[in-house]
């Protein structure tokens, strides 16, 4: 696991970012060569984080890390270890980061903590928000699991939780929250709670002009032709409020 916590800059004013990124790629190549040499077959991982301790870290988020790996032809040697609180510091939900990694074939492993969205630093709290654990496990199940990665809390107790007993409570709270989230995610998938909405919303891409677009048969000219036929298009609601109520029903029985 490469945690690039110090791979970033304090200020662009004194930084040769191009050289630093080239060097980072060189280090990764050396590691790949060395692993090959000694027959080391583990999964190499990179953990994105946007900032802290530096002002700006090179592996800002999943997309930035993927852009980097593709530039240097390293994308087949690495997967991502995503962390919930790093996602939120970068301005994303954890689900978003997992989805980005997953649809790019880069989902590797998870640091399953939680942050405080009203604070601007990494709090690494034990995860207890059941919405978050459910949606995280939902993305993982949809992605077909984590492959050779795992779920690690990377969490710590608070300044005011300094007794050994707190570590027990915290681990139990976190494990229960993730176990519960896994079961809730399974219920969501089995009941097609979200899939039903998504399939309905995108159904126009499974027939007619939509299917042509997806199959790569459409051109600007054919789309122009279609538009000129002036067939009425009925916009439809994305039903977000109904979906959020359905989520409360499905995961909490409310």
Window 219 to 248, contacts with a copy of itself (CB under 8 A): 219-221, 223, 235-245, 247-248
Task: Give the orientation angle of helix 94-103 with respect to helix 130-142, to 10 degrees.
Answer: 0
**Minimum CB–partner distance for residue 20 and a copy of itself (Å):** 9
- Taking contact as CB under 8 A, which single stretch among the options 39-47, 76-84, 144-152, 200-208 is the one that binds a copy of itself? 200-208
Which of 11, 76 has the CB closer to a copy of itself? Answer: 11
**Terminal Cα-to-Cα distance of the chain (whole angstroms):** 41
CB 48 within 8 A of CB 90: yes
167 in helix, strand or coil?
helix
The pattern of x and - marking residues 106 through 145 that bind a copy of itself according to CB under 8 A reads ----------xxxxxx----x-xxxx---x----------
Locus of tokens 């699991």: 145
Pick out residues in 12-31 that bind a copy of itself (CB under 8 A): 12-19, 21-23, 26, 30-31
Neighbours of 174 (CB within 10 A): 21
Residue 204 lies near a copy of itself (rule: CB under 8 A):
no
**Close Cβ partners of 43 (under 8 Å, ≥ 6 residues apart):** 79, 108, 109, 147, 148, 149
The pattern of x and - marking residues 149 through 188 that bind a copy of itself according to CB under 8 A reads --------xxxxxxx-xx--xx-xx--xx--x--------
């Amino acid at each position: 696991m490469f945690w690039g916590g110090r791979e970033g800059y304090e200020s662009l004013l004194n930084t040769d970012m191009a050289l630093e990124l080239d060097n980072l790629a060189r280090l990764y190549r050396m590691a790949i060569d060395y692993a090959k040499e000694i027959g080391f077959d583990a999964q190499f991982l990179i953990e994105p984080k946007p900032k802290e301790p530096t002002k700006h870290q090179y592996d800002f988020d999943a997309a930035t890390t993927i852009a980097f790996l593709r530039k240097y032809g390293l994308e087949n040697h690495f997967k991502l270890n995503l962390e919930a609180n790093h996602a939120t510091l970068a301005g994303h939900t954890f689900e978003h980061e997992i989805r980005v990694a997953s649809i790019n074939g880069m989902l590797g492993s998870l640091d399953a903590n939680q942050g405080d969205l009203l604070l601007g630093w990494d709090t690494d709290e034990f995860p207890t928000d059941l919405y978050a654990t459910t949606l995280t496990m939902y993305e993982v199940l949809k992605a077909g699991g984590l492959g050779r990665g795992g779920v690690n809390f990377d969490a710590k107790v608070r300044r005011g939780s300094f007794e050994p007993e707190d570590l027990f409570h915290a681990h139990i709270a976190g494990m229960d929250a993730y176990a519960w989230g896994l079961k809730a995610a399974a219920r969501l998938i089995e009941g097609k709670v979200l899939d039903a909405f998504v399939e309905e919303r995108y159904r126009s891409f499974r027939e007619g002009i939509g299917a042509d677009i997806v199959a790569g048969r459409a051109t600007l000219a054919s789309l122009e032709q279609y538009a000129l036929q002036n067939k009425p298009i009925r916009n439809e609601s994305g039903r977000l409020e109904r979906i959020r109520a359905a989520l409360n029903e499905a995961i909490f029985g409310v």
